Structure 1
Amino acid sequence: MRNVHDPEWKTSASLIGLWALLALTLHLLWEIGQLPFYALWQEGEVWRITLYVMHCVLGDVMIATLTYLAVALIWRQVNWPRQRLWSGGTMLIVMGLGYTVFSEWYNVYRIGSWAYSDAMPLIFGIGITPLLQWLLVPGLMLVLIQRTRIGWSWRKSPTAPLFIFF
């Protein structure tokens, strides 16, 4: 077991924490933005809408973090966005989209946990906004992760990328 005072362990924990924080922030914004595409929005009960958004955002953070960790397990490195951005990012997005397709189908058509409004555009019965969410938000998160110094090994990489701003 690694020592929690080990700089590599701290870097890994910082990277996962940053990922979860980005997931919380960006998925919260997305969930609020896509509310009009769900039937709940038309009911207008603020407390139900708030609970719905909180439930969805916490689920999004969990999905985002677990898919990140799944890619880390596959590549056996927590800072995979540094060395394997495209292959790891593709795996991450495919896993997120796969789960989203199943979850939307199951919750909308199987158990009726939520419903789409008439405004929701559909692809094969699945809402476009949740599909776009799991295509765009993780992509943006990867770009933002790339723009931090967390996870960069300065000893292994003598020239730092020019786009780092932290």
Structure 2
Amino acid sequence: MSHHSGGGTVINKHAALNAPELHIAIFAFLLHFVWELMQLPLFAGFDDVHYFTVILHCTKATGGDVLISLAAFWSASVVARSRFWFVAVQPPALIIFLASGLLITIVFELLATGPLQRWEYAKAMPLLPFIEVGLSAVAQWIVLPLVQLWFVRRQVLGGWQRS
């Protein structure tokens, strides 16, 4: 639905609902929240924590994941010169999307487990050699962004995509 504003321009009332950033944020939240809950045993200090505290912790972590996802999306959009680059995926934009999310995550993991002491890994967490970053955090930023883009693309296209 569109209507005319006083200045004669046409305004789409649903523009915000059609913004790709909204879909990026929604699917990032849904996917990363589940991942955060599932990977919790790989982090130390949560054995005897009340479930509500765990939910709050995972919600905060997921909020960070949403911000990382949006930053990665905007980086890819700059490279592609379009916020709709995911509709007909352009390899350079996809690479930037994945690489920027991975880079931000690795830097934050190094800071959080190092000088900031925000969390520590449990013995069960497999670590990447040399950089000692949790494999789960790295896998999260390879697997979930690809699934997220698939969902966002389907949402934006209204489910009518050719396979």
Structure-1-length-normalised TM-score: 0.81
Match for 1:33 among 38, 44, 49?
A: 38
Instruction: Provide the residue aligned with 2:122 in structure 1.
Output: 117
Amino acid at match of 1:143: W
| Structure 2 contact 75–100 (Cα < 8 Å) conserved | no
Amino acid at match of 1:37: L
| Structure 2 contact 80–92 (Cα < 8 Å) conserved | no
Distance in 2 (CA, whole Å) between partners of 1:57 and 1:4 is 36
Q: Is the deviation greater in 41-50 or in 137-146? A: 41-50
Per the TM alignment, residue 146 of structure 1 is displaced from its structure 2 partner at its CA by: 2.8
Instruction: Provide the residue aligned with 1:70 in structure 2.
Output: 75
Amino acid at match of 1:148: Q
Instruction: Provide the residue aligned with 1:136 in structure 2.
Output: 143
Amino acid at match of 1:34: Q
| Structure 1 contact 72–79 (Cα < 8 Å) conserved | yes
Instruction: Provide the residue aligned with 2:88 in structure 1.
Output: 83
For structure 1, the residue ranges without an aligned partner over 5 or more in a row are 152-159
| Structure 1 contact 15–79 (Cα < 8 Å) conserved | yes
- Residue 54 (structure 2) pairs with residue 49 (structure 1): yes
1:101-139 per-position Cα deviation (integer Å, ceiling 9, x unaligned):
111110002221101011100013110000000000001
Match for 2:106 among 97, 101, 104?
A: 101
| Structure 1 contact 11–150 (Cα < 8 Å) conserved | no
Secondary structure of 1:34's aligned partner: helix
Higher helix share: 1
Distance in 2 (CA, whole Å) between partners of 1:102 and 1:89 is 20
Per the TM alignment, residue 69 of structure 1 is displaced from its structure 2 partner at its CA by: 1.5
Instruction: Provide the residue aligned with 1:145 in structure 2.
Output: 152
For structure 2, the residue ranges without an aligned partner over 5 or more in a row are 1-8
Q: Is the deviation greater in 82-91 or in 34-43? A: 82-91
Amino acid at match of 1:135: I
Q: Alignment RMSD, CA only?
A: 2.5
Amino acid at match of 2:11: H
Amino acid at match of 1:55: K
